[in-house]
């Protein structure tokens, strides 16, 4: 089968970095048409730089990286240096990028790509706040029908929130954008905390990254060593949750994941539950299903795939 054409929309972020490395290591599964940076974990000047750092770490300096929106649609930016460090990629010491940033704005790239490629052949992979995607949909409503699938990391239901008691970070940062995306009508697959918190980089799994014995393996192990401390302290978990790589792993082997096609709405009115993904997991409403909400993962299979693919770089 031909590789899926994808656009990765991202706010690197160590876990974004691993998701990007997995995609760039898997040309038989994914053709990365471009990487669009958005403000999120850290401000845009850092996310656009980090995206290029990761492409060069993968020895893929010809990857097209675009800079996108530097703030949510209607709110002040909330960042997550407390998790990812000041640079957003704390952990390894990686050189500043020398590859160029594309001149075109990320939103224009998303619109133009969806209008140029055949309908239903481009998958969007948002790994951060949905500001770029929502802005593209607002500016060019015609693209919604041309999207093959949106496979995003965001939200939470049984796992509840990680930035507030009710909300997961990506959705919380720009809930108005999330509302637009979840209402756009394109097929959506959601990787919420319910599943990403089951993809934990335990010490043996991080040892396996390090045992790859390459600069990529070492860098990923050092990224994990850094960003695991937040979750271990907060949840007492046995390692860092690899949120964003669940998105690109899904594109390689969807059988690693299970979920339900349900209705998911976004809270944008209440200060108390702002950014909550109200997932009708038990079908108690008659609201139409608009997303496949993933709840479980074959974690051993996920890490075996990830380690094997990272070793290619």
Cα 170 to Cα 22: distance, rounded to the nearest angstrom: 20
177: left (phi over 0), alpha (psi -120 to 50) or beta: alpha
Q: How far is the CB of 81 from ligand RIB (least distance, A)?
A: 12
Residues that bind ligand RIB (CB under 6 A): 11, 13, 15-16, 40-41, 127-128, 153, 162, 168-170, 243-244
Name, in order, each residue with C-beta under 8 angstroms of 292's C-beta and a sequence gap of 6 or more: 187, 188, 189, 190, 259, 260, 261, 262
Residue number, 246 or 279, with CB nearest to Ca ion: 246
Helices (H) then strands (E): counts for the chain:
12, 12
**What tokens appear for 4 in the block?**
């899926």
Residues that bind Ca ion (CB under 5 A): 11, 13, 16, 127-128, 244
Q: How far is the CB of 161 from ligand RIB (least distance, A)?
A: 9
Direct distance between the N- and C-terminal alpha carbons of the chain, in angstroms, rounded to an integer: 22
DSSP state of 69: -
Instruction: Give the count of beta carbons closer than 10 Å to the beta carbon of residue 255.
Output: 8
Q: How far is the CB of 298 from ligand RIB (least distance, A)?
A: 21
Partner from ligand RIB, Ca ion, none binding residue 168, C-beta < 5-8 Å depending on class: ligand RIB
Residue number, 111 or 250, with CB nearest to ligand RIB: 250
Phi/psi of residue 171, each to 5°? -75, -40
Residue number, 37 or 111, with CB nearest to Ca ion: 37
Q: Is 105 a catalytic residue?
A: no
Residue number, 25 or 89, with CB nearest to Ca ion: 89
Q: How far is the CB of 33 from Ca ion (least distance, A)?
A: 19
Residue pair 111/158 in contact by the 8 Å Cβ criterion? no
- Catalytic: which of 82, 84, 197, 243? 243
Q: Which residues participate in catalysis according to the annotation?
A: 243
């Amino acid at each position: 089968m031909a590789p899926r054409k994808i656009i990765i929309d991202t706010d690197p972020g160590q876990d974004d970095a691993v998701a990007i490395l997995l995609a760039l290591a898997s040309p038989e599964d994914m053709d990365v048409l471009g990487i669009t940076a958005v403000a999120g974990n850290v401000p845009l000047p850092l996310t656009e730089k980090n995206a290029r750092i990761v492409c060069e770490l993968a020895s893929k300096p010809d990857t097209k990286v675009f800079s996108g929106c530097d703030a949510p649609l209607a709110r002040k930016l909330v960042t997550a240096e407390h998790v990812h460090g000041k640079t957003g990629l704390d952990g390894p010491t990686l050189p500043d990028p020398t590859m160029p940033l594309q001149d075109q704005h990320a939103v224009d790239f998303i619109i133009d790509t969806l209008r140029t490629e055949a309908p239903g052949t481009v998958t969007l992979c948002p790994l951060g706040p949905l500001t770029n995607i929502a802005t593209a949909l607002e500016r060019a409503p015609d693209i919604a029908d041309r999207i093959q699938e949106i496979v995003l990391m965001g939200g939470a239901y049984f796992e509840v929130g990680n930035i507030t008691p009710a909300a997961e970070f990506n959705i919380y940062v720009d809930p108005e954008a999330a509302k637009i995306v979840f209402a756009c009508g394109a097929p959506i697959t959601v990787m919420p905390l319910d599943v990403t918190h089951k993809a934990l980089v335990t010490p043996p799994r991080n040892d396996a990254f390090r045992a790859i014995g390459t600069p990529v393996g070492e860098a990923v192990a050092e990224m994990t060593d850094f960003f695991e401390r937040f979750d271990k302290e907060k949840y007492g978990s046995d390692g860092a949750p690899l949120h964003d790589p669940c998105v690109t792993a899904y594109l390689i082997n969807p059988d690693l994941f299970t979920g339900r096609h349900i209705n998911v709405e976004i809270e944008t009115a209440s200060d108390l539950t702002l950014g909550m993904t109200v997932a009708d997991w038990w079908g108690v409403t008659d609201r139409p299903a608009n997303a496949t909400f993933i709840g479980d993962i074959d974690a051993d299979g996920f890490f075996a795939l990830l380690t094997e693919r990272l070793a290619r770089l």
